[in-house]
């Protein structure tokens, strides 16, 4: 009588490799935790400390909300203008960064480099750079938002461009249309929904980004927030956070409905 057959999901080699990988990951994480030098006493205290902080923010100082209108409007301004700037600059960058529309390898590489640098550096860091150039204020904020968004928008746009139906381009080219006409008639209509969707999506993200630019001095409501926190004025902080919450939620809703309409 033969002994019962066995079955294993992974071969011994693969099972060993998997175990090894998991062990390595655990070791790395443990090492990182140790290196971070976290005081576990503080970790234990954290929930109560956070609760205490939140408690001090209630009730919010609603009277203060009036003074927040101007900074809020400025925040949205910065987000909108920055996104608009990015939109204008992203189209050429995307066309150069897409393998099927770029003229040569140099332009392709250059465009890709621009995209990478733009999106690896956070908006806030760009803000620091532009503050040095044009001084503190919302202009620096707009430029920062704009430059950071170029990477995001053009990356998605380039992907959209690379996925277009070649057949349509072929057909329009076959009619004898020039390079720019082909772009306008065969490429742009195909990427328009992508473009609209991405632009609105980025605007939504930029509204959130713009709320903190003021912390480093690049305009918007961040400045008021920082001031309130430095002054330990917690009920005002509560007001500001509540107002920011409302604005971001509103922009998300607007963005979602617009995108559904346009794509």
Partner 1 sequence: MSGRAWRPPSVWPRPWMGPLLVGAALAFLAWNAASLEVDPQRIARGLSRLGAVAARAFPPDWSRGGLLAAGVLESVEIATVSTLLGMALGIPVAVLAARNVVPLPVYAGGRGVITLGRTFHELIVAILFVKAVGFGPLAGVLTLGLHSVGFFAKLLAEQIETIDRGQIEAVRATGASPAQVLIYGVLPQVLPRVVGLAVYQWDIHLRQSTIIGIVGAGGIGATLYNAFARYDFDFALAILIVIVAIVLVGEAVSAVARRMVR
Partner 2 sequence: MLEVRGLTKTYPGGDRALRGVTFTVDGHDAVFVIGPSGAGKSTLLRCINRLVEPDGGSVRLDGRELTTLGGAELRAARRGMGMIFQEFNLVERLTVMENVLSGRLGYVSTWRAWRRRFPPEDVEAAFRMLARVGLEGFENKRADELSGGQRQRVGIARALVQRPRILLVDEPTSSLDPRTSEAVLGLIVELAAEDRVPALVNIHDVPLARAFARRIIGLRDGEIVYDGPVAGLTRDVLQRIYGGTWATAEAGA
Give the interface with partner 1 as residue ranges (CB under 8 A). Answer: 28-29, 32-33, 35-39, 42-43, 45-46, 49-50, 52-53, 74, 77, 80-81, 84, 116-117, 120-122, 124-125, 128-130, 132-134, 137-139, 142, 208-209, 211-212, 215-216, 225-226, 229, 241, 244-245, 248-249, 261-262
**CB atoms < 10 A from the CB of 193, how many?**
13
- Distance from chain centroid for Cα 158: 17
Is the Cβ of residue 132 or residue 166 nearer to partner 1 in the bound state? 132
Q: Does 6 bind partner 2 (CB under 8 A)?
A: yes
Q: To which residue do tokens 């305009």 refer?
A: 219
**Phi, psi angle pair for 83, to nearest 5°:** -65, -40
Q: Does 9 bind partner 2 (CB under 8 A)?
A: yes
Structure tokens at 56: 């001090």
**CB atoms < 10 A from the CB of 38, how many?**
10
Helix (H) or strand (E) holding 140: helix 138-162
For partner 2, the binding residue among 4, 59, 167, 176 (CB under 8 A) is: 4
Provide the minimum distance between the beta carbon of 2 and partner 1 in the complex, in angstroms, as a whole number: 28
Does residue 200 contact residue 210 with C-beta atoms inside 8 Å? no
Provide the minimum distance between the beta carbon of 51 and partner 1 in the complex, in angstroms, as a whole number: 9
Neighbour-count burial for 41-54, b at 16+ CB within 10 Å, e otherwise = eeeeeeeeeeeeee
Per CB under 8 A, the segment of 7-15, 127-135, 217-225, 240-248 that binds partner 2 is 7-15
Q: Does 12 bind partner 2 (CB under 8 A)?
A: no
Q: Does 105 bind partner 2 (CB under 8 A)?
A: no
**Binding site residues, partner 2, CB under 8 A:** 4-9
């Amino acid at each position: 009588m033969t002994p019962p057959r066995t079955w294993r999901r992974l071969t011994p080699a693969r099972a060993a490799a998997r175990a090894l990988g998991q062990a390595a990951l655990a070791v790395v994480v443990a090492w990182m935790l140790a290196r971070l030098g976290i005081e576990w006493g503080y970790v234990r205290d954290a929930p109560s400390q956070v609760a205490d902080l939140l408690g001090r923010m209630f009730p919010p100082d609603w009277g203060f909300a009036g003074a927040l209108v101007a900074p809020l409007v400025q925040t949205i301004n910065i987000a909108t203008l920055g996104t608009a700037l990015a939109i204008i600059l992203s189209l050429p960058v995307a066309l150069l960064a897409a393998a099927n529309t770029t003229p040569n390898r140099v332009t392709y590489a250059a465009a890709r480099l621009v995209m990478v640098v733009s999106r690896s550096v956070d908006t806030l860091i760009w803000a620091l750079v532009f503050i040095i150039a044009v001084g503190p204020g919302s202009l620096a904020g707009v430029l920062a938002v704009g430059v950071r968004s170029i990477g995001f928008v053009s990356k998605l746009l380039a992907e959209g461009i690379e996925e277009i139906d070649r057949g349509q381009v072929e057909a329009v080219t076959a009619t004898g249309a020039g390079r720019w006409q082909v772009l306008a008639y065969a490429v742009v209509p195909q990427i328009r929904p992508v473009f609209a969707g991405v632009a609105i999506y980025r605007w939504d993200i930029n509204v959130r980004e713009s709320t903190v630019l003021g912390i480093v001095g690049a305009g918007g409501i961040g400045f008021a927030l920082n001031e309130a926190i430095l002054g330990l004025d917690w009920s005002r902080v509560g007001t500001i956070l509540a107002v920011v919450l409302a604005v971001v939620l509103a922009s998300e809703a607007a963005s979602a409905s617009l995108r559904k309409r346009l794509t």
